[in-house]
């Protein structure tokens, strides 16, 4: 049996705004779209799908108190983009455009540098560059 992860679906409140964000900052082309409800963006070997949060998703039962806390966007997913261009310049361009971004960081023993940021709905993304 062969298994491959081919698509990641992120539930969002404003499909058009989040689509515009990822197109503006990561140049992801549209593969398919239902206006204001669903869009699939090409993101290398995986597709990033943005799905409007519908009533059935909004009405899921609350998490038990024993569950770990959820981030502001209600997601525990982090989208990671790899670039080949200058990472510091990429980060500065996002920061200058008003995107909330963290500092550049590197961990000992890993052959890449990275920074984290948040899209307009608070979903966390990371941009990394291999050495």
Is there a single domain that holds both residue 44 and residue 96?
no
| Model pLDDT for residues 19-69, shown as the tens digit of each residue | 999 999 999 999 999 999 999 999 999 999 999 987 655 555 554 555 544
- Going by pLDDT thresholds of 50, 70 and 90, the confidence category of residue 102 is very high
Report yes or no on 61 lying in a domain. no
Angle at 12 between CA 24 and CA 86, to 5 degrees: 30
Residue 102 domain boundaries: 75-131
Choose between 111 and 60: higher pLDDT.
Answer: 111
Report yes or no on 120 lying in a domain. yes
Q: What is the pTM of this model?
A: 0.80
| pLDDT at residue 9 is higher than 90 | yes
Is there a single domain that holds both residue 79 and residue 50?
no
**pLDDT at residue 107, as a whole number:** 94
Is there a single domain that holds both residue 79 and residue 108?
yes
- Going by pLDDT thresholds of 50, 70 and 90, the confidence category of residue 71 is very low
Sort residue 85 into left (φ over 0), alpha (ψ -120 to 50) or beta. beta
**Mean pLDDT value across residues 68-96:** 83
Is there a single domain that holds both residue 44 and residue 83?
no
Residue 7: name the closest of 56, 29, 40 by CA: 40
Pairing of strands 30-34, 38-43: antiparallel
Is there a single domain that holds both residue 83 and residue 130?
yes
Report yes or no on 14 lying in a domain. yes
Report yes or no on 69 lying in a domain. no
Instruction: List Cβ neighbours of 46 (8 Å cut-off, separation of 6 or more).
Output: 5, 6, 7, 8
Report yes or no on 124 lying in a domain. yes
3-state secondary structure of 85: coil
**Percent of the chain beyond pLDDT 70?**
84
Long-range contacts of 71-78 (CB under 8 A, 24+ apart): 71/122, 71/124, 72/122, 73/118, 73/121, 73/122, 73/123, 73/124, 75/10, 75/11, 75/123, 75/124, 77/8, 77/10, 77/123, 77/124, 78/116, 78/124, 78/125, 78/126
Residue 29: name the closest of 38, 40, 15, 18 by CA: 40
Domain CATH number, residue 34 = 3.10.180.10
Report yes or no on 107 lying in a domain. yes
Report yes or no on 11 lying in a domain. yes
Tally the domains of the chain: 2
Report yes or no on 131 lying in a domain. yes
**pLDDT at residue 68, as a whole number:** 46
Is there a single domain that holds both residue 36 and residue 6?
yes
């Amino acid at each position: 049996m062969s298994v491959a992860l081919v698509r990641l679906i992120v539930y969002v409140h404003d499909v058009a705004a989040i689509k515009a964000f990822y197109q503006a900052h990561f140049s992801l082309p549209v593969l398919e779209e239902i206006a204001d409800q669903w869009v699939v963006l090409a993101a290398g070997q995986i597709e990033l799908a943005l799905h409007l949060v519908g009533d059935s998703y909004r009405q899921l039962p609350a998490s038990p108190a024993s569950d770990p806390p959820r981030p502001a966007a209600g997601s525990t997913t982090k989208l990671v983009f790899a670039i080949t261009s200058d990472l510091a310049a990429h980060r500065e361009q996002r920061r200058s455009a008003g995107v909330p971004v963290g500092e550049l960081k590197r961990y000992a023993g890993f052959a890449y540098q990275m920074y984290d940021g948040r899209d307009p709905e608070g979903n966390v993304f990371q941009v990394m560059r291999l050495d």
